[in-house]
Structure 1
Amino acid sequence: MGRSIPAKQSPARPKTTAKRGPNKSGSRKKKSNGKGGKNEPKNLLRDALLLLLEWGGLSVIGMGAMVLLLGHFGNRFSGTDVFGSLLPFGIGIFGFIIAATLLLSGWKRLRRLLKLWSPILPAGLVAAVTLTLLCMIPGNTFTKAFGYYRTLVGGKEEASRMTLAHQVYAAYRRLGNGQVEKMIERAKPFDADIEDAAKVYDVDPDLLKGLAATESSYLPRKSEDGGHGLFQITQVPKQVQREVDGRFDVKSRDLGSSRYNAFLGAATLQHYLEEMNNDLFLGLLAYNIGPANGGLRFIMQQYGATDFVTIQPYLLKLPRDYPIRVLSYSLAFRIAREEGKVLAYEEGDNAMTIQSLGIPGL
Structure 2
Amino acid sequence: MPLRHRALALGVELIALSAAALVAIIAVLGRSANGFAGTDFGSSLLPFAGAVFALVVVGAGLLWLWLRLRRWLTARFVPGAALLALGIALAAGWFALQDEYGRDLGNFRTLVGGMQEAERVTLAHQVYASYRRSDLSQAQRLLERARPYLPPVQEAAGAYGIDTDVLMGVGATESSFLPRDSKDGGRGLFQITAPPKAAVELAKERLGVEQLDLNDPRHNAHVAAATLRHYFAEMRGDLFLGLLAYNIGPKNGGLLSIMKQYGARDFATIQPYLQNLPRDYPIRVLTAALAARLWRTEGALPRYEQGDNALRIQGVGIPGL
TM bin (shorter chain):
over 0.9
- Which residue of 1 is the match for residue 186 of structure 2? 227
CA 1:240 to 1:175, structure 2 compared with 1: closer, same or farther past 3 Å? Answer: same
Find 1:155's aligned residue among 79, 100, 114.
Answer: 114
The answer to whether residue 319 in structure 2 is matched with residue 360 in structure 1 is: yes
- Which residue of 1 is the match for residue 85 of structure 2? 126
Matched residues, number: 321
CA 1:309 to 1:136, structure 2 compared with 1: closer, same or farther past 3 Å? Answer: closer
- 1:269–1:287 Cα contact (<8 Å) kept: yes
- 1:193–1:262 Cα contact (<8 Å) kept: yes
Amino acid at match of 1:246: E
Q: Report the CA distance between 1:304 and its aligned residue.
A: 2.2
- Structure-1 separation of matches of 2:108 and 2:298: 26
CA 1:334 to 1:96, structure 2 compared with 1: closer, same or farther past 3 Å? Answer: same
- Structure-1 separation of matches of 2:189 and 2:277: 23
- Which residue of 1 is the match for residue 50 of structure 2? 91
CA 1:207 to 1:232, structure 2 compared with 1: closer, same or farther past 3 Å? Answer: same
- Structure-1 separation of matches of 2:240 and 2:225: 16
- Which residue of 2 is the match for residue 350 of structure 1? 309
Q: Report the CA distance between 1:252 and its aligned residue.
A: 6.7
The answer to whether residue 29 in structure 2 is matched with residue 70 in structure 1 is: yes
Amino acid at match of 1:73: S
- Structure-2 separation of matches of 1:125 and 1:303: 59
Structure 1 gap ranges (5+): 1-38
- Structure-2 separation of matches of 1:275 and 1:251: 26
- Which residue of 2 is the match for residue 236 of structure 1? 195
Over aligned residue pairs, what C-alpha RMSD do you find? Answer: 1.8
- Structure-2 separation of matches of 1:315 and 1:294: 15
Find 1:289's aligned residue among 239, 248, 272.
Answer: 248
Q: Report the CA distance between 1:102 and its aligned residue.
A: 0.7
Amino acid at match of 1:132: A
- Structure-2 separation of matches of 1:48 and 1:338: 43
CA 1:48 to 1:229, structure 2 compared with 1: closer, same or farther past 3 Å? Answer: farther
- Structure-2 separation of matches of 1:132 and 1:300: 48
CA 1:182 to 1:317, structure 2 compared with 1: closer, same or farther past 3 Å? Answer: closer
CA 1:75 to 1:136, structure 2 compared with 1: closer, same or farther past 3 Å? Answer: closer
Q: Report the CA distance between 1:136 and its aligned residue.
A: 5.0
Q: 1:1-362 alignment to 2 at 5 Å?
A: 44=4, 46-136=5-95, 139-250=98-209, 253-316=212-275, 319-362=278-321
Q: Report the CA distance between 1:103 and its aligned residue.
A: 0.5
The runs of 4+ residues in structure 1 deviating greater than 6 Å are: none
Q: TM-score, normalised by structure 2?
A: 0.94
CA 1:195 to 1:52, structure 2 compared with 1: closer, same or farther past 3 Å? Answer: farther
| 1:152-200 Cα shifts (integer Å, max 9, x gaps) | 1111111210121011001111113212221221222111211111111
- Structure-2 separation of matches of 1:77 and 1:355: 23
Q: Report the CA distance between 1:118 and its aligned residue.
A: 2.0
Percent identity (aligned) = 50
Larger radius of gyration: 1
Q: TM-score, normalised by structure 1?
A: 0.84
Structure 2 gap ranges (5+): none
| 1:81-111 Cα shifts (integer Å, max 9, x gaps) | 1211111111111011110111111111111
Q: Report the CA distance between 1:247 and its aligned residue.
A: 2.2
Query: Which stretch of structure 1 is more off in the superposition, 332-341 or 235-244?
Result: 332-341
